[in-house]
Amino acid sequence: MFMEELIFTIGQADSGGRIDKRIALELGDGYSRTMVKTLIDDGFVLVNGKKVKPNYTAREGDEVNIEIPPPEPSDAEPEDIPLEILFEDEWVIVLNKPAGMVVHPGAGNRKGTLVSAVLFHCGKLPESEDAFRPGIVHRLDKDTSGVMVVAKNDRALRSLGKQFRNRTVNKQYAALVKGRVELDNGVIEAPLGRHPVDRRKMCVDPEKGRNARTVYHVVKRFEKFTFLRLELDTGRTHQIRVHLKHLGYPVLGDRTYGGPAVMSRQALHSEKLGFSHPDTGRRVEFTVPVPEDMMRVIERGEWDPPKG
């Protein structure tokens, strides 16, 4: 396995700060400060071609070169974690993923994942190209709740994967966004790519981004926010969150993309998922109602001011 290389230059805004903090920000949520310190101490980080200490003071114009070693090979491990199962047969298992649960193991998130819980429940899942993602054909962000499907055998994995690639899966989301959305219905078409500075984020990138299309409908307007339902024609990383920020209406609680910190997580929920059953070909659809934390805001018509 080859190492991933990351090169970036320190800008004026980051001059004077510790290099380990800046690297942790660049690498994203999957890397703790302890992991970054290990990379630096083990010589995987060079600044202007030289090794530095974690407390090195970054200067504008410094070129930072990071070699990220691949993770030690290891399959996802089953864990006895409760699941809310909406439907299950020998082909698929459909679940209501809670907010706060990571879908599959990754750097910094080896335990407590949905994959580990499903492995414990099912005993075995079909292998995918990534050993950490058995049975996974789509994902939800950690702090997005709602309906997901996982394949239980190879044929189901191929069938569902093809449906997601061909965009024949129906995906409906509920979201609460800052501000009063003007149009009752609308379409957001804006290509998405990785943010050029902060690798944790995606952004609208007209030149290099991949096409992305989101359809939205206003359910109800309130004084400070709007309740939306959305359908995805594509499934890009963070698509709804970035598109709504681009439109000027960030998702409540989405601190990454500028949403007001009025909830403990982003107010985004996978409400409905429809697909063709891998065995019968019959169209099936599963719905999970808007969860309690979002409903409290909707019923009050306002949010509590952020604490602290």
d(CA 186, CA 179): 16
Selected catalytic residue, list 141, 154, 184, 254: 141
Catalytic, 141? Answer: yes
Distance between CA atoms of 8 and 26, rounded to whole angstroms?
A: 9
Q: H/E element holding 129?
A: none
Question: 150-165 burial, b for 16+ CB within 10 Å, e for fewer?
Answer: bbbbeebbebbeebbe
Instruction: Report d(CA 158, CA 137) in Å as an integer.
Output: 9
Q: Is the backbone of residue 100 left (phi > 0), alpha (psi -120 to 50) or beta?
A: left
Cα separation, 245 vs 251, in Å, equals: 7
196 burial type by CB count under 10 A (0-12 exposed, 13-18 middle, 19+ buried): exposed
Distance CA 228, CA 117 (A): 31
Integer CA distances (angstroms), 146 to 141, 194, 212, in order: 10, 25, 21
Is residue 214 within 8 Å of residue 240, measured between CB atoms? yes
Q: Take residue 112 and report the two structure tokens written for it.
A: 């407590």
Neighbours of 167 (CB within 10 A): 13
Give the C-alpha separation, 187 to 170, whole Å. 16
Coil, helix or strand for 155? helix
Give catalytic residue positions.
141
